[in-house]
Amino acid sequence: MYDEKQISQMVQIVLEAFQKAQKCEASPDLITLGIPSAHIYCSQKTVEQLFGSHATLTRAKDLNSFYYEEGVAISGPKGSTHGYIFGPLLDDDQDPVIELSRSESEAIGVDAPVRESKDDYQSAACRIVGPAGAVACEKGAIIPRRSVNLPTYIADQLQLKEKDTVSVDSRGVDGTIFENVLVHVTEDGRHELMLTGDEAKAAGLKKGSSVKIVIKK
């Protein structure tokens, strides 16, 4: 059961989501910035290797994101960094994918390539360490390519489809324009630009900053 504080938080989130949807309809090309920290996508099988047999994860109370409260260490030859597990969980026959910023990958000594999110093709090796065990990954570590997540109704308004590319104007003082930003469209997707912390910092942006999609005709 939820207590009064949790119910109040959920009501606030719903109200904010409603207000955001109204704003999106008025200005569908304006989107907010998301900056995920180091994280992994993995299966229940991997979860049990890391946290123990029959382990279950606790979904974070932030209903705007799909990640779990339990953390792991992502390690390489030079050290380790803290990471979260993102959902939904993968199928048991899928290998873990580890997504890092360039500075995070360099800090732990992993030569991670830039790939579309969850694409582990020719990716780097690393190790995931949990409280009950570790998983040695021969591949899986990547730097996620910058992307825009759009719900279907917004994509329709902008006449965009899955795998299109757009530019995004940071609307900052230095006038940074992000080129070749990949578009992802889902029925209930978030209205958000996803950058690594390195990319956001270089442009002087913070999580939640408002940026603008630029569609080249």
The pLDDT tens digits for 168-212 are: 999 876 789 999 999 999 887 788 999 999 999 999 999 999 999
Question: Beta 39-43 vs 79-90: how paired, if at all?
Answer: parallel
pLDDT for 164 beyond 80: yes
What is the pLDDT, as a whole number, of residue 61? 66
Token pair belonging to 68: 């779990």
Q: Which residue is listed with tokens 């992502």?
A: 74
Q: Calculate mean pLDDT across residues 111-136.
A: 96
Q: How many CA atoms lie within 13 A of 79 on its CB side?
A: 8
The H or E element spanning position 98 is strand 97-99
Q: Is the pLDDT of residue 105 over 70?
A: yes
Q: What's the pLDDT score for residue 79?
A: 97
Q: Where are the domains of the chain?
A: 27-35+146-214, 39-144
Among the residue ranges 1-10, 90-99, 134-143, 184-193, the one predicted with the least confidence is 1-10
With the C-alpha atoms ordered 16, 21, 25, 29, is the resulting torsion angle positive or negative? Answer: positive
Architecture of domain 27-35+146-214: Beta Barrel (2.40)
